[in-house]
């Protein structure tokens, strides 16, 4: 059984590593890493290529996190360590994708998929926070960080299993870390807005 679990964790990483935004950009004839913010994630795809490519990128990245985590919860509901490792592998794959020299997205969409698999209510509320923050500030990065920060709070309010709550805190810190360039641009007034195109 152990070797199967290891294979599932590896599969989660490889699935998470699929660079959706980069591939969609290539289908459109561009290298998304050379456009806008240079990040191959949902936000940059949306700003650079438009609404539908951005939405498609988000949902595929979301599902990359959701399916492995959902399967882990369904078949090993009491094995919290295994579930967390599967979840973490998917998120790590998205951020440090093996297919782009370990330089991927910021982990937001894939993390949302992961947490929706086993923390649906807190995740839905965090998504609502994301939507409100983006609507107010016009910055997807602000919405992403706001959602990441509030998710652990909602986990506490809903009395989620402690291991999952700890994972939420860790992913929150990770997403803030991946957004350090955005934070610097916000303070310098150079952060790209929701509808910016280049």
Q: Is 69 helix (H, G, I), strand (E, B) or coil?
A: helix
d(Cα 159, Cα 154) in Å, to the nearest integer? Answer: 8
Q: Is the distance from CB of 21 to CB of 42 less than 8 angstroms? A: yes
- 12 within some domain: yes
Residue 65 C-beta-side C-alpha neighbours within 13 Å = 27
Give a yes or no: residue 193 inside a domain. Answer: no
194 within a domain of the structure (yes/no): no
pLDDT value, residue 197: 55
Inside any domain, residue 156: yes
Name the residue range of residue 122's domain: 2-188
Q: Mark residue 153 as left, alpha or beta (left: phi above 0; alpha: psi -120 to 50; beta: remaining).
A: alpha
Q: What is the pTM of this model?
A: 0.94
pLDDT at 2: 80
Domain membership of residue 128 (yes or no) is yes
Report phi then psi at 55, rounded to 5. Answer: -65, -45
Residue 120 lies in a domain: yes
Q: What is the domain count for the chain?
A: 1
Q: Give a yes or no: residue 126 inside a domain.
A: yes
Neighbours of 167 (CB within 10 A): 26
Burial class of residue 107, CB neighbours in 10 A (0-12, 13-18, 19+):
buried
What's the average pLDDT block by block, 10 residues per block, for the chain (198 residues)?
90 98 97 94 93 97 98 96 98 98 97 98 99 96 98 98 98 98 94 69
* Residue 198 covered by a domain: no
């Amino acid at each position: 059984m152990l070797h199967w679990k290891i294979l599932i964790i590896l599969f989660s990483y490889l699935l998470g590593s699929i660079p959706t935004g980069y591939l969609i950009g290539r289908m459109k004839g561009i290298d998304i890493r050379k456009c806008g913010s240079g990040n191959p994630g949902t936000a940059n795809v949306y700003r650079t290529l438009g609404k539908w490519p951005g939405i498609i990128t988000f949902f595929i990245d979301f599902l990359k996190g959701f399916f492995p985590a959902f399967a882990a919860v369904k078949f090993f509901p009491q094995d919290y360590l295994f579930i967390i490792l599967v979840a973490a592998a998917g998120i790590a794959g998205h951020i440090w994708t093996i297919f782009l020299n370990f330089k991927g997205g910021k982990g937001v969409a894939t993390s949302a998929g992961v947490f929706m698999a086993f923390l649906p209510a807190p995740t839905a509320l965090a998504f609502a926070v994301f939507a409100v923050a983006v609507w107010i500030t016009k910055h997807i990065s602000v919405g992403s960080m706001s959602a990441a920060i509030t998710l652990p709070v909602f986990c506490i309010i809903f009395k989620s299993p402690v291991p999952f709550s700890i994972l939420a805190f860790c992913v929150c810190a990770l997403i803030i870390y991946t957004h350090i360039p955005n934070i610097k641009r916000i303070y310098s007034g150079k952060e790209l807005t929701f509808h910016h195109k280049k």
